[in-house]
A and B are shown apart, each in its own frame.
Chain A
């Protein structure tokens, strides 16, 4: 669609601009402000330069939290994306099954995040939870409160439970939009199930898949509420992801300087990914 050049369109964008500026730019400036200053209380601040940033980039705590977040995100992607594709491929395409599947699958997406945490906290408990009880009855030594590995497994299974549906819904939407003619052509050629997937379905859902990958990466990279409710970052620090560490530092210990510096580094990473995301999206749109 040809768009006309019209700078008056700014007036239509203005409300959005003001609103988002109010809730994004001002808070961000506060963070920047803290990140370059030091305080001894009483609201007296001193210029600290890049001190906090250097401290952050040299602290083990920061890099460990970062490593945990990255590992978590990659494990999540490795499980949720293939699983989502397989389920989307096997979803019913017509009839009463469609709305039922869609509604049931979308259900976890609409549960408040801390309730998701609560559900799994209860479900995994050894004494009152079905999962924990069954696991122990089967002779598996499972206790997410004490064992770091079990805590990780619980958090990952919880995230798979919570967000795989997003991947499923995205892929499903991509699959239903493939025109019938493609399948007919494949049928005439006698294509196998696998080659239909490989050469028709996969290229056609490539774009939604990309969106799914990037959304899941970014959202899992900033996950906070669910693991916080289930494990509280423990046992020890084993499930303390970047955002949990950040909130701990900012709200718990009131180390505003380091927390602000960390926020900015964190935000820049997200910004980098958003930029990649945006570039890839706009490019793949104009390619075809």
Chain B
């Protein structure tokens, strides 16, 4: 099944969104295989240890966020002796804090919408047509995904200053397009190449115009691809700090930048810092829960 769409070189031979049947099927035998080995009964120890290793530092942050500063600095306790939500209250009552969250969410959503909107037609063009310089263009797009943000920080500042866009949400959203648009094109192209071309042709014969075909028939077919692409755009825009910090001063400052500023200014309000950190983890955790069934498939395309 994986080799069905090999012919497009870019689409590659990776398993396209394939039938779910094999997944369940190989599970049984893979388990049976595991049982045969000597270590087989304890196979779950490895992922369990790994997850524990992942969760421990996060737990420590959550733990800290419910402590008072005295407790944090005074004793080392594995759970808050005197749980307090004071740290969270500080954030939710101070506009300079909670606005950071709103700013982050605004530019992340803007960026995701822009990226997907421009990437859809482009990915369609790449997956269905050959045109002058298509491979060069695709490679050039890819290089932007690999571009070190450190190189772009200063020129971005000057560019957006020239346009008077500094400290606006749209500036950050546009700047993040640098790496998210190529990524979205890449992911979507993979999903689109998995859709047989006959579907396009049949629709045209049935008298569909291109826009109607694209929105009514094609987009529902690659809905999971759009979801995966949107997820990765969201993710990379949400976690990026260097560019977002460079392009904003006060009105559009992301929460993660506000965090660093507060640490350096007021010194050691560890509790509030931890609470702010915990709150930045939540949106990601929510989003990942919604796309959990598609994550493996998105990664399977290797388009990240």
Contacts and interface: CB of A to CB of B under 8 A. Distances in A.
Interface of A: 1-10, 12-13, 15-17, 19-20, 22-24, 26-28, 30-31, 86-87, 90-94, 97, 99, 101-115, 118-120, 122-123, 127-131, 133, 161, 164-166, 168-170, 172-180, 183-184, 186-187, 193, 196, 207-208, 211, 215, 218, 221-222, 224-225, 229, 243-244, 246-247, 250-251, 256, 259, 263, 266-267, 270-271, 273-275, 277-278, 281-282, 284-286, 288
B181 A118 contact: no
Contact of B270 (A7, A30, A128, A179): A128
A164 B23 CA distance: 23
A179 to B, nearest CB: 5
Interface stretch (B90-98, B115-123, B218-226): B115-123
Contacts of A267: 147-148, 151
Given A17-B137, A110-B285, A288-B6, A93 B30 contact: yes
Contacts of A278: 139, 142
Nearest to A134: B76
A29 to B, nearest CB: 8
A88 B22 CA distance: 18
Contacts of A170: 299, 302, 304
Chain A contact surface mostly: helix
27 contacts: A4-B128, A12-B122, A13-B137, A15-B121, A16-B181, A19-B114, A103-B289, A105-B47, A110-B235, A110-B287, A110-B288, A111-B284, A118-B277, A119-B57, A161-B57, A170-B304, A172-B299, A177-B18, A179-B2, A179-B26, A207-B13, A224-B149, A243-B149, A246-B148, A247-B153, A267-B147, A270-B148
B60 A224 contact: no
Contacts of A284: 12-13
Interface in B15-45: 15, 18, 22-33, 36-37, 43-44
Nearest to A123: B57
B141 interface: yes
A244 B149 CA distance: 11
Contact of B53 (A8, A103, A161): A161
Contacts of B134: 9
B24 A94 contact: yes
A114 B254 CA distance: 12
B177 to A, nearest CB: 5
A282 B14 CA distance: 11
A113 B43 CA distance: 31
B: contact size bracket: 35 or more
B288 A94 contact: no
B146 interface: yes
Nearest to A164: B50
Nearest to B148: A222
A218 to B, nearest CB: 5
A150 B112 CA distance: 39
B273 interface: yes
Contact of B284 (A2, A107, A251): A107
Contacts of A123: 56-57, 60-61
Nearest to A229: B260
Kindly name the residue among A16, A97, A166, A285 whose own CB sees the greatest number of chain B CB atoms within 10 A. A16
Given A86-B46, A169-B295, A211-B302, 19 more contacts: A2-B7, A3-B8, A3-B128, A13-B125, A19-B118, A20-B177, A24-B144, A114-B241, A119-B277, A122-B64, A122-B270, A127-B73, A128-B72, A133-B76, A164-B50, A166-B299, A170-B302, A266-B150, A274-B139
Contacts of B28: 94, 180
A107 B281 contact: yes
B54 interface: yes
Contacts of A165: 54
A2 B31 CA distance: 39
Given A4-B128, A107-B58, A122-B61, A250 B153 contact: yes
Given A24-B144, A110-B284, A282-B9, A128 B177 contact: no
B287 A224 contact: no
A273 B130 contact: no
A274 B139 CA distance: 8
Contacts of B174: 19, 22-23
Nearest to B50: A87
Kindly name the residue among B9, B29, B299 whose own CB sees the greatest number of chain A CB atoms within 10 A. B299
A227 to B, nearest CB: 12
Interface string B251-270: 00001110110010000001
B29 A187 contact: yes
Interface string B198-239: 000000000000000000000000000000000000010011
Nearest to B198: A1
